[in-house]
Amino acid sequence: MNRRKYPAHRNPVAAAILRAGIRRDVADLKTTAELQAWTGADASKLVNAAGRMMWMVAGAAVACGVSDDSPDVRIIRGMGEALGDLNADGRLEQHRPAIQSGLMAIERLLPLCSDWALGTAALKLDELLATTAGMGTADLRAVLDGAHA
């Protein structure tokens, strides 16, 4: 039997498994962020889940060529500011509509982002969180301007 051998980085089965894992992780994080945004009462959980989702999709959108002037990217910028304000003042109900709007913009941007771009953005986010005290609105601005892309 003549089997075709693929290098590890070009193995289609490994690539499919990795892609499925990325999709699953993004879907899980998206579900958590949406549940917190629509019904949650814990501001810190909302900031964490929605902030991670926002940063990953922003990074992936930039990598996939989405214009930083598109309406959905501008909505995400507003969501980032709302998350920063929520983190500072803790007034969840005041910031909830902007965060919900941002999550709906993320929903519209996700089909424009490749799985690989989302995975790369997630790795960069993990690296950022491991090397700093946290993520803030300046980090969102940097990723949307292509500094972390």
pLDDT band at 85 (very low <50, low <70, confident <90, very high): very high
* Eight-state DSSP code of residue 147: S
* Eight-state DSSP code of residue 21: H
- Give residues with Cβ within 8 angstroms of 120, minimum separation 6: 59, 60, 63
Q: How many whole angstroms separate alpha carbon 149 and alpha carbon 144?
A: 8
pTM over 0.95: no
Task: Pull the structure tokens for residue 112.
Answer: 């424009």
Orientation angle between helical segments 137-144 and 43-63, nearest 10 degrees: 20
More confident residue, 139 or 105: 105
Q: How many whole angstroms separate alpha carbon 83 and alpha carbon 130?
A: 20
More confident residue, 148 or 90: 90
Within 10 angstroms of residue 119's Cβ, the number of other Cβ atoms is 19
